[in-house]
Structure 1
Amino acid sequence: MHQAFQDKHDGLSLRMGTEPEMMWLKKDENGKPNGGYSNPYCYHIDQFESLRPVYMKVMEYSRKMGLDMIQGDHEDAPGQLELNWMFDDVLRNADRLTTYRQICAQVAREFGIIACFMSKPFMGVSANGCHHNMSLWRGGEDKMRPTGNDPDNLPGLPHNYMYVSGGDNTFMPDGDDVQMPGKAGLAAIGGIVHHLRALTAVGSSTVNSYRRLWDTGFWAPVFADWGFQNRTTGLRVSAPGRFEYRSVDSMVNPYLMGSTILAAADDGIDNSLDPGEPEERNIYEAIQAGKQVKKLPMTLGEALEALAEDKVVQRGMPGEMYRLYHQYKHDEWERFNHTVTEWDVETYLDCLP
């Protein structure tokens, strides 16, 4: 998909950086989750330090595997960390996110704890999001980053340590507005805004994903709009030169997310789709002022219906992929709907209507 996109658009390529939030949880005597390994205090240095043995082991393994680790912080849920590596070509970044998850699972085994990427294991605290920061570039070349290893004796495959560097970022402003992306970048954003409801079925791919959208007040976006540094919209320009797709959580398949974003961006460029004016107000205030804004799907079933109606996003799942995705995810949604939950029992068991 990426190669076809590059060939079609004169070498235009997608670079992606992901922000995988996840929770490190303690186990009870039965091996079940028993609260966080740290307390839910956002950006708290002491809580971050309490997880130092865990994240230092994650970083050690990650660097051996070619992940250029650049930053990390404690988020505001129990045991919740976000560790980031340098952005890169969309496919290599997907490989690294997949590798990172496996590394976290191994470290959890070594420490006797749980590495949880489930979107919403607890209500009333932030979910595990996985924001995708994207930009479209022309040019650039692969350069070796040993990530702290001996460059003459790198473990693994040399390709693991390649990162694309340089080139021209089409998401950088090219006019007087220092925030507004350039023309090609803006058209790509228009495509993503236009297809945001269908993309939600890929970015929020589980029944549990939508607990994140319903638990309001914890920064999860529920509206199909965009803005500058606006955390109440599904998309935002988080910094000049990059665009943050926010309607995605840590259960995402990064390969499908990358390929469907490419399909939406391709449609935006082909048809010069206008994303509309960036919304700088709190989206709830804008709605109260009379703005008509589409909501994102609020259940997996609704998202799958939006995807079923969107042939452009389906192009990001070529061959048998869309049919299989539709089949498996509809099965997941139907199995949930014929399951009696604890909520059902607690709410209705003693009712005498």
Structure 2
Amino acid sequence: MNRVGEKVKPVKSSARAKASGRTDIERFVEDPKRTKLVAEVRKKIDALGIDYLYLQFVSVTGRIMGKGIPADHWESVAQKGFQLVYGATMNLFLNRRGDYLGYGPEAAELIGIPEPETFMQLPWDKRVARLWCTLFRNREEREEPGAFLTADARGNLRRIHDEFKKEHGLELRHGTEPEMMWLKKGTDGQPDGGYSNPYCYHIDQFESLRPVYLRVIDYCRQMGLDMIQGDHEDSPGQLELNFTYDDALRTADRLATYRQICAQVAREFGIIACFMCKPFMGVSANGCHHNISLWRGGTDETKTLGNDERKLPGMVQNYLYRKGGENTFMPDTDDIQLPGKIGLKAIGGIVKHLGALTAIGCSTVNSYRRLWDTGFWAPVFSDWGFQNRTTGLRVSAPGRFEYRAVDAMVNPHLMAAALIKAMDDGLKNNLDPGKPEERNIYQAMEAGKQVKKLPMTLGDALAALEKDAVIRSAMPGEMYRLYDEYKRDEWERFLHTVTEWDTKTYLDCLP
């Protein structure tokens, strides 16, 4: 049952599965290529001395969920998978009325099937390895047994991207700029300010966090993240460490892995890894700009990243990066500041759907503190330009488009799927983004330019998402219902909470 008592609608199996007479889960498990990979994982387990396996997936909010099993049972779980309540996709949380979000206790259990190609030893405990999983409906359900579970954010992204590739002959490659803050931990275990001073690009502040970021980078490289640059940003303890852009699913997986690595490093140093968007007012927030481009062709190349190729701590697929091909966002006129025709249409789709996209990129109540704290280059306006940070979107370099209305709390798999759907609309309908804005957007507005604002609260963003069928299609089947239910409950919790601001403002205002 959902939050208004409506029965959950069954999802439909893929057409190919029906045509073959097999369910989605049967086709997935029985793939001959996968059978070979399962055997290769056993060799890795034995060679690396792995005792335990984390089988993980991404919840609706981007939290890493799953189960652990002894490595002795690898072959069995690779074939049968593991079962977990459907509500795990909603973090198994209660709404403010005390009911389980998304699924009640009477719901069936999902099936998680590990993807052997994602096997990776954890560098901080070499007895343990992790694998990403694809989720399915239970084999014994009365309707659509064994179908792909549409509450699976990772699985949805893979299928949506595959459809986009088939229709347009294009693939999304993107990179992210994950800002986050390293905070001191007080005697009560709570945050006690930033680990460094808020001096942007200051090498001495960067140096103060050297032991932390070097360990992050070391773990990242062992787990297949090609780290390329880093700096100290302009908030207390704020760092940005970047890794190479790649295929959409691999980039989303790597961002999720990066967060897990930061959490582990924080435990090792007794500090806090904070991905909250706006823990401090008056300084910049934790953004997570997405730099995107659409490509034709290309091949996968292996980057061992300093690891011994003969003894990689994970399957080789973790070290693949998409290279070559044609970047269709590159200029195709004499104006090197303008993307090509495909890029302009893609931007047109994103500009059209910015309101609904904001509900995914700025996914928490706290996200909107970033938009309200003016003067820190927050992407407030629905406009675009070339290297213009006062607009919500910008061409950050020839062939690359920076989507700015996204912060560090984003579910990267949902975000990538939503951007694909927005660009799909732009390509199909030849959407024109309008002329790029070269002026400071605030000065342009003073001169009379009419500019549409993004939604400025989570509630307004959810309302925009509800009206936008294109972006909702990035959350197929049950996913939109689940996301909307989770986030509306979050918004309602905030609205019915008395805050410190309330008491400071109203406690003694009368008589």
Instruction: Please state how far the C-alpha of 1:181 moved relative to its aligned partner.
Output: 0.5
1:141 counterpart residue number: 299
* SS state at 2:374 partner: coil
Aligned pairs for 1:169-180 within 5 A: 169-180=327-338
Distance apart, 1:292 and its partner CA: 1.2
Aligned mates of 2:252, 2:232 — CA distance in 1? 23
Choose 1 or 2 for highest CA Rg.
2
Counterpart among 147, 164, 167 of residue 8 in structure 1: 167
Matching of residue 314 in structure 1 with residue 489 in structure 2: no
Alignment-derived partner of residue 102 in structure 2? none
Question: Residues of 1 paired with 2:242 and 2:489: CA distance?
Answer: 33
Instruction: Measure, in 2, the Cα distance between the counterparts of 1:138 and 1:18.
Output: 21
Q: Deviations over 1:250-297 (max 9, x none)?
A: 000000000000000000000000000000101111111111110000
**1:62 Cα deviation after fit:** 0.3
Determine the C-alpha separation between the residues in 1 that align with 2:355 and 2:310: 47
Partner of 1:103: 261
Residue in structure 2 matched with residue 343 of structure 1 by the alignment: 501
Instruction: Determine if the alignment matches structure 1 residue 56 to structure 2 residue 211.
Output: no
Is residue 87 of structure 2 the alignment partner of residue 87 of structure 1? no
CA distance in 2, matches of 1:31, 1:261: 38
Q: Say if 2:153 is the partner of 1:153.
A: no
**In 2, Cα distance between the equivalents of 1:147 and 1:332?**
41
1: CA distance between counterparts of 2:438 and 2:318?
A: 40
Is 1:280 matched up with 2:438? yes
Aligned counterpart in structure 1 of residue 205 of structure 2, from 29, 37, 47: 47
Q: 1:178-189, aligned counterparts within 5 Å?
A: 178-189=336-347
Could you tell me which amino acid in structure 1 is paired with residue 172 of structure 2? Answer: L
Alignment match, 1:218:
376
Q: Aligned residue for 2:279? A: 121
**Percent identity between the two aligned chains:** 76
Q: Tell me the equivalent position of 1:243.
A: 401
Residue 318 of structure 2 is aligned to residue 165 of structure 1:
no
1:25 maps to which of 160, 169, 183: 183
Helix, strand or coil for the counterpart of 1:248? coil
1:63 & 1:153 partners in 2: Cα distance?
14
Structure 2: stretches of 5+ with no match in the other structure: 1-159
- Per the TM alignment, residue 348 of structure 1 is displaced from its structure 2 partner at its CA by 0.4
Query: C-alpha displacement at 1:221, in angstroms?
Result: 1.2
Q: Name the aligned partner's letter for residue 258 of structure 2.
A: Y
Shift of 1:105: 0.1
Separation in structure 1 between the aligned mates of residue 411 and residue 327 of structure 2, nearest angstrom: 25
Bigger relative contact order, structure 1 or 2 (CA pairs below 8 A, ≥6 apart):
1
Gaps of 5+ in 1: none
In 2: Cα distance, 1:43 partner to 1:288 partner: 31
Quote the RMSD (CA, aligned, Å). 0.6
**Corresponding residue for residue 192 of structure 2:** 34
The SS at the match of 1:257 is helix
2:90 is aligned to none
1:221-248 per-residue CA deviation (whole Å, 9 max, x = no partner) reads: 1000000111111100000110000000
Cα distance in 1, alignment partners of residues 343 and 251 from structure 2? 20
CA distance in 1, matches of 2:507, 2:315: 58
Shift of 1:72: 0.1
**AA partner of residue 212 (structure 1):** R
Give the Cα–Cα distance (whole angstroms) in 1 for the partners of residues 445 and 469 of structure 2: 29
Letter of the 1:191 partner, please give it: G
> What is the rounded CA distance, in whole Å, between the counterparts of 1:251 and 1:339 in structure 2?
21
SS at match of 1:43: coil
Residues 1:232 and 2:390 aligned together: yes
The Cα of 1:158 is off from its aligned counterpart by 1.3
The 1-side partners of 2:380 and 2:337 are apart by 23
Q: Provide the secondary structure at the position in 1 that maps to 2:329.
A: coil
Once superposed, which parts of structure 1, at least 4 consecutive aligned residues long, lie more than 2 Å away? none
Q: Distance in 2 between matches of 1:2 and 1:223?
A: 28
- Distance between the aligned counterparts of 1:284 and 1:88, measured in 2? 34
The structural deviation recorded for 1:306 is 0.5
Code of the aligned partner of 1:174 = D
What's the secondary structure of 2:454's corresponding residue? coil
Structure 1 segment 244-263 matched on structure 2, within 5 A? 244-263=402-421
Structure 2 counterpart SS, 1:152? helix
Provide the rounded CA distance (Å) in 2 between the counterparts of 1:233 and 1:315: 26
| Alignment partners' CA distance in 2, 1:258 and 1:277 | 25
Secondary structure of the residue that 2:448 maps to in structure 1? coil
Aligned residues: 352
Separation in 1, partners of 2:366, 2:360: 13
